[in-house]
Amino acid sequence: MRVLAALSGGVDSAVAAARALDAGHEVVGVHMALSRTPAAQRTGSRGCCSLEDASDARRAADVLGIPFYVWDLSQTFEQTVVSDFLAEYAAGRTPNPCVRCNEHVKFATLLDRALALGFDAVCTGHYARLERGAGGQVVLRRAACEAKDQSYVLAVSGPGRLARAMFPLGDVPTKEQVRAEAAERGLRVAAKPDSYDICFVADGDTGGFLRERLGARPGDVVDQDGAVVGRHEGAYAFTVGQRRGLHLGRPAPDGQPRYVLGIEPVANRVVVGPAEALAVSAVQAGDVVWFDQVPVGTRCTAQVRAHGRDVRVRLDADADGGLSVLVEDGEQLHGVAAGQSLVLYDGDRVLAQATIEQVRGVAPAEAPAGVAVAP
């Protein structure tokens, strides 16, 4: 097959491309330039898409002996991933930019361009496994390396697009093995730090990035009774479940820590309260991507954060065509925010992905202001 290997400049994508080459495929490397003003160098493990990354990707392609190109996808990235990130936070929701990047850039724009140029598949360094089911449908499974599994952020792409994807690292048991393999192949990126956090917020200051783009909007931080307990510079800079950075002027009566329970973008208020008010009994989500149709009443597991732990849930009916799950007795799910991705699993197999719209607390009659409660 003719395979387009996405080379980020990191060790994972370089080894993935090498493995595709070893498998006998005709491989061409491409680096996606996603920043309009790329920094010369990365800041440790933060950020990506720097000029240093592009150079590292080119050197990896040279070592592998494959053609190499740089594609400027910065406009697409800005219009989809970054714009969505800003709009979601402004609306009081919590987006996952990695999910949107996979959806709109890697397995949409990049894949479409690859197919138009005659390639059969796109190869990336993601940690996940792809198989074919008995009926020929694509099955997405967790990676063998549980600590690096990325099926959660890949599920949004759906079986149709993932049918043209290759994840050669899906069966690798540890990241250390990938680094050792890179060193054996003479790839200089073998010891390069992993990227983490939000790639386009290189300094890690998400609140500062949002204030720069959205402007300061001072407002009140209130408790569940509506009493003002602090001030903020923009409600958009907070997310449900957040504890740090609240700068509260009045301690809780019981002296216990307080957490963000909800964001009210119209009133520009942040609602805080005790940890127990974050408990969730049900989640409703929309824009469902199905890998396998499952009937109401099906018991499975759900993940609501990248690398978050699974909780046991039961699929409930949803007349609007969305997805509704009930948290099983004995399970605990806390601090779920609208905008997060919900992925359902049967063991290590992905069943569906959707975007969270509403949550229902354990005691809905006492739900605090600012927390969306499913009917």
Distance CA 144, CA 122 (A): 21
CATH topology identical between 216-275 and 279-366: no
Q: How confident is the model at residue 49 (pLDDT cuts 50, 70, 90)?
A: low
Residues 6+ apart with CB under 8 A from 94: 88, 239, 240, 337, 338, 339, 340
Please indicate whether residue 123 or residue 137 has the higher confidence score (pLDDT): 123
Top CATH class of 279-366 equals mainly beta
pTM of this prediction?
0.91
Q: Is 101 a catalytic residue?
A: yes
Domain ranges of the chain: 2-191, 216-275, 279-366
Top CATH class of 216-275 equals mainly beta
* pLDDT tens by residue, 173-213: 999 999 999 999 999 999 998 876 688 887 778 889 999 99
Phi then psi for residue 111, to 5 deg, are: -65, -45
**Catalytic residue from among 98, 101, 123, 145:** 101
Topology adopted by domain 2-191: Rossmann fold (3.40.50)
Residue 329 has pLDDT above 80, yes or no: yes
Distance CA 172, CA 165 (A): 17
Phi then psi for residue 209, to 5 deg, are: -60, -45
* pLDDT tens by residue, 31-44: 999 987 665 555 55
Q: Is 49 a catalytic residue?
A: no
**Catalytic residue from among 48, 98, 199, 300:** 199
Of 165, 137, 136, whose CA–CA distance to 151 is shortest? 165
Phi then psi for residue 196, to 5 deg, are: -150, 180
- The DSSP output letter for 153 is H
